[in-house]
Amino acid sequence: MALFILEGLLSGINFTIIFFIIKDVLDLNFNYNQILKYSSILALVYLIRNFLYRRAYTYGQYAGSDISRNIRLNLGNKFKEIPLFNFTKRKTGKYINTVTNDVDSYENILTHKYGDILKNLVLVIMLLIYMFKFNKDVGIVSLVGGLLLIPSLYISFKIVNKHGKNKNLAQSDNTDNIVEYITGIKTLRIYGQDGVNNNMIINSMKNYSDVSFKYEINILPMAGIFNILIGLCIPVSIYIVGLSYINREIDIKMAIMISTLPIFLNKLLNTLYISLTGYKNLKISRNNIESIFNEKEEFKNNKSFNPKVFDLEFENVNFSYDDSKKVCDKLSFKGEHGKLTAIVGSSGAGKSTILNLISKLHVPDSGSIKIGGIDIEGISSEKILDKISMVDQNTFLFNDTIKNNIKIAKPTATDQEIIEVSKLSNCHDFIMEEKDGYNRLVGENGNRLSGGQRQRISIARTLLKDNPIVLLDEATASLDIENELLVKEAIMNLISKNKTIFMVAHTLPIVKNADRILVMNNGKIIESGTHEDLMKLKGKYYSMYLADKSN
C-alpha cells in the first residue's frame, strides 16, 4: 500500500519538473546544463518509480496469489463442512464458478485494482493541490469535477449491484450447463444434440451474453455522462486561464502549465471511475466467496459414536424433496446386524433415498433412524460415514492409478492388502492383464475401464475399508451378463463378512437369499419378509419376480 502511494507521489513530481522546463524555455534560460539536469532528475525519478512499482507489483502478485491459494484451500475445507445434501439439491455451477472465476476476480482486486486506485487517487490530490496553488479558480472548477466522481460512482454502484449480480448468476448457470454438456457429450453426440444443435447450451450462452450486454448498456450511460461533465471542466479551466492571462494576472509560463493540468486530471478521473466501478463489480465476487463461507455447516459435536452392534432401524421416517410429494412415507423397519436386507420396488419408489438417509446424504423431515439403538440425528455425518461403505450404481474413480483408487478407502493399506481385496472383488485378473498392472491409469472418472470393472474396483474399496455397514445401490445395474456375474460373485464375498448390508436391486434373483426383503411403492413399504414369505403372498413381489424370471 505504502509503495503504491509513494510511487503516486513521485509521479506527481514530474509535473513540477515539466513546469520548470517550460519556465526555463520561455525565459530563454534553457541550455545544455539545464537539459542534462532535468533529464537526470526525470531519469532518476523514473528509475525510483520503476523500482517501487515493480516491488509493489511483485509483492501484490505474491500476496494475491497466496491469498487466493488460501481461499481455495479454505473453500475446500468448507466444502467438507457443508451438508452433503446441499450438493445434490443445488446446481454445482455456483460452487465451480466461485472457486475459479470469483477467486480469480478477487485476486485481481488485490494484485491490480487496489494499488492502481491508490496511486491514481494520490495523483488526483497532487494535481488539485498544484491547480489551487497556481490558480484558485481553476482549482475550484477541477475540484467540482473531481467531486462529481462521488454521485457518479453512487449511481454506478447501484447499477452494478443490480445487474452485476444477475451477470454473476448467469455466469454460474452457464458454467453448470457447460459442465453438464461436456460430461454428457457422448450421449449428446449419439442423438445429434451436440454443438449448435444443443438448445440448452446455446440458450445458456445466449442468456449469459444478453445479461452481460444488458450490464454494459446500463453502466455505459452513467460513464458517458460523467465523462462529459468532467470533460467540460477543461474548456472552462482554459477560459479562466485565458482571462487571467489577458488581465496579466499570470504569465505565459503559468498559463501553459495550468492549461495542461486539467487534461491530465480528466484522464485520471476517468481511469479512477472505471477502476472503482470495476472494483465494486469485483466485490460481488468477494461476496459470493463469503456467501459460501457463511453457508450453514453440518451439525457437529464431540458426541462419540461407538455402537456395540450395528442393527439399523427406521421409526416413522418421513422425507420429501422441497416440500413436494413424500418420497418416504412413515417408514418403519429394522435391518439386523450381520444380515442382508434387500429393498426392491418400481422406479421412483424411494429405494435409493433410504440409503441416502442412512448415510446422512439427506436428513429426514421427521421420525428417527437408529444404528445400534443410537439415534443418528445428533451424530455428525463424518462419524456415521466412518462406519459405512457404499457401492453406488455410478462409481466415481479419480484420474489416477488403480492402486490409488482402491487405496483411497484406506491410505495406510499395504500392497498385499490391496491385492487380497482385488482378488475377492474379481479385479485382480483384469488388472494384471495390462503390463502396468495396479499402476495402470484409469482415466478421467475411470473412462478407460468398463462399467463392470469400475463396479468391482468400488467393491474392492468397500472390502478394504471393512466397515460394519455396507450399502449397495443397484450395484449390478447396466452391466452385461459376464460382468454382472463377476460383480454378483464379488458381492457374495462381501456379504460373507458378517456385516449389516442393505441392498437396492433391480434384478430379483440376486436378492432371493436375502434375510429380509422390503417391497416399496410410492414411498411406502407394502410387503416385507423372506423370498418364500413374499412368494406365498402372491402380491407385488410375486408379480415382479415372475416377470423378472420370464425375462
Distance CA 281, CA 216 (A): 12
Confidence (pLDDT) at 521: 87
- pTM: predicted TM-score of the whole model, two decimal places: 0.64
Helices (H), ranges, 110-251: 114-134, 136-147, 149-159, 165-183, 185-190, 199-246
Confidence (pLDDT) at 315: 92
Confidence (pLDDT) at 152: 87
CB 491 within 8 A of CB 501: no
Q: Which of 357, 298, 299, 297 minimizes the C-alpha distance to 326?
A: 357
Q: For residue 318, what are the β-bridge partners?
A: 366
Distance CA 280, CA 222 (A): 15
Distance CA 206, CA 120 (A): 37
Q: Which of 519, 551, 521, 550 minimizes the C-alpha distance to 537?
A: 519
- The 8-class DSSP code of residue 298 comes to P
Confidence (pLDDT) at 199: 72
Backbone φ and ψ of 499, nearest 5°: -120, 160
- pLDDT tens for 207-237 read 878 887 887 788 788 888 888 888 888 889 8
Distance CA 173, CA 208 (A): 8
Distance CA 31, CA 329 (A): 97
- pLDDT tens for 65-83 read 777 788 888 888 888 777 7
Residues of the chain predicted below pLDDT 70: 1-15, 19, 26-28, 56-61, 63-64, 84-93, 109-112, 114, 186-198, 299-301, 323-324, 475-487, 493-496, 550-551
Confidence (pLDDT) at 416: 92
Place of cell 452433503: 84
**CB within 8 Å of 90: residues ≥ 6 apart:** none
Nine-digit cell at 526? 407394502
What are the angstrom distances between the C-alpha of 79 and each of 71, 115, 176? 12, 32, 17
CB 115 within 8 A of CB 4: yes
CB 465 within 8 A of CB 389: yes
Confidence (pLDDT) at 292: 82
Confidence (pLDDT) at 161: 79
**CB within 8 Å of 530: residues ≥ 6 apart:** 514, 515, 516, 517
Nine-digit cell at 496? 460373507
Query: Which strands make up the sheet holding 366-371, listed edge to edge?
Result: 326-335, 312-320, 366-371, 374-375
Grouping H, G, I as helix, E, B as strand and the rest as coil, residue 374 is strand
Q: What structural domains does the chain harbor? A: 2-179+214-293 (1.20.1560.10), 309-387+468-480+497-551 (3.40.50.300), 394-466 (3.40.50.300)
Confidence (pLDDT) at 13: 67
Tell me which amino acid residue 331 is.
L
Nine-digit cell at 18? 515539466
CB 526 within 8 A of CB 519: yes
What are the angstrom distances between the C-alpha of 119 and each of 51, 81, 154, 397? 15, 41, 21, 50
